[in-house]
Amino acid sequence: MRIATWNVNSVRQRVEALVGYLRTVQPDVLCLQELKCLEEQFPRLEVEAAGYNVAIHGQKSYNGVAILSKAPMEIAVGLPGDENDAQSRYIEAVIPWGKTALRVGCLYLPNGNPLGADKYDYKLAWMDRLIAHARKLLSYEERLVLCGDYNVIPDARDVYDPESWLGDALYAPPTRQKFRELLALGFTDALRATTDAPKQYTFWDYQAGAWQKNNGLRIDHLLLSPQAADRLESVAIDRDMRARDKPSDHVPIRVDLKA
């Protein structure tokens, strides 16, 4: 089972790249973030023609998440814990896998900048809600992958210049502490289960030649429940996607889980 996640940064601008990725890499499941469109604006026909079922939680101009799956899905939309939260940042699917099933949570965690303002309070509160929901999901003892753009730099080796990011919401100590709380529930960071190497980046800013200088960040993560981690075979970052014409500033990262 191949599960990938990709912050596509405006899906309508990346239709050709998206369909090409589906046809070439053939993920069984692809989670998308930052769609920046409503459900009716999503390129459903092109994705379905590539052989995928589509579940979308869209929002005009901002946010938006989707799960694409070769198999049918049972879908739940929205992160529990705040009925007044109107931002489209979470979608969850249960997908058949042999005699059992895989549960996938696709998330687009808030950026949170600047520190000390309402946006950062929202980020931390959203992370608390995610921790509470993840604790409930783990209690099901299922094969679970919780993936997406976390907007969290977990460690110094995950950023090109750690000192310069200490005042940023992606790397601030409270942010990293919340991420560690999430991991401590029993999740495995899929990439770090396979390598300790630095510079395993998934994001390069469009500004200041960040891609050319390899000034990157690792902020897109796949977290595995114990039942999924037991089946982990490999992890790959599809860096080549960043070098193409009109790329997203993020690239896909994927795991292969054995049957």
pLDDT, position 203:
98
pLDDT, position 58:
98
Question: pLDDT tens for residues 214-244?
Answer: 999 999 999 999 999 999 999 999 999 999 9
Q: What's the mean pLDDT in 111-133?
A: 98
Domain housing 89: 2-257
Q: State the total domains in the chain.
A: 1
pLDDT, position 100:
94
Tokens of 15: 């239709």
Active site residues: 108, 149
Tokens of 192: 């770090």
pLDDT, position 160:
98
Report helix angle 118-138 to 173-184, nearest 10: 10
Alpha-carbon distance of 57 to 39, in angstroms, equals 7
Question: pLDDT tens for residues 246-255?
Answer: 999 999 999 9
CB 254 within 8 A of CB 4: yes
pLDDT, position 50:
98
Question: pTM of this prediction?
Answer: 0.98
Tell me the average pLDDT of the chain.
98
Q: What is the DSSP string of 116-161?
A: TSHHHHHHHHHHHHHHHHHHHHHTT--EEEEEEE-----SGGGBS-
Q: What's the mean pLDDT in 17-41?
A: 98
Q: Is the dihedral of CA 243, 246, 251, 254 positive or negative?
A: negative
pLDDT, position 201:
98
Nearest to 201, CA basis, from 244, 237, 240, 152: 237
Give all strands (DSSP E) within the chain, no chain letters. Answer: 2-7, 29-33, 53-57, 65-69, 74-77, 90-97, 100-108, 143-149, 188-189, 203-204, 216-217, 220-224, 232-237, 253-257
pLDDT, position 218:
98
CB 231 within 8 A of CB 248: no
CB 51 within 8 A of CB 70: yes
pLDDT, position 88:
98
Alpha-carbon distance of 218 to 121, in angstroms, equals 22
pLDDT, position 177:
98
What confidence tier does 80 reach under pLDDT thresholds 50, 70, 90?
very high
CB 174 within 8 A of CB 212: no
Q: How many CB atoms within 10 Å of residue 164?
A: 11
146: CATH? 3.60.10.10
Contacts (Cβ under 8 Å, ≥6 apart) of 71: 28, 53, 95, 96, 97
